[in-house]
Amino acid sequence: MEKITVQRANVVLDISPEDKKFYMSQGYSVIDEKGKVIEEAMSNDVATLQNQVAHLKEKLAKAEETIAELSKAKRRIKE
């Protein structure tokens, strides 16, 4: 039987795929065998959501910087 591993804080559970939606609604994130979050739970807590937005904005800014650097490098190569 296939199992999915979920985690919330320091609680790690192996659940059936049918229970995934319920546990994610309870704040559990799906993790892989190494403990890396592969599907993050959505929260209804405003502070948590604001932190997630701030984190995603940082990731977006870093990605935009990388894109700009790669574009500059590509232009230099063409010259």
Q: What is the DSSP string of 2-64?
A: --EEEEETTEEEEE-GGGHHHHHHTT-EEE-TTS-EEEPPP---HHHHHHHHHHHHHHHHHHH
Give the model's confidence band at 61: pLDDT under 50 very low, under 70 low, under 90 confident, else very high: very high
pTM of this prediction?
Answer: 0.56
Give the model's confidence band at 44: pLDDT under 50 very low, under 70 low, under 90 confident, else very high: confident
Instruction: Supply the mean pLDDT for the chain.
Output: 91
Does residue 5 have a pLDDT over 90? yes
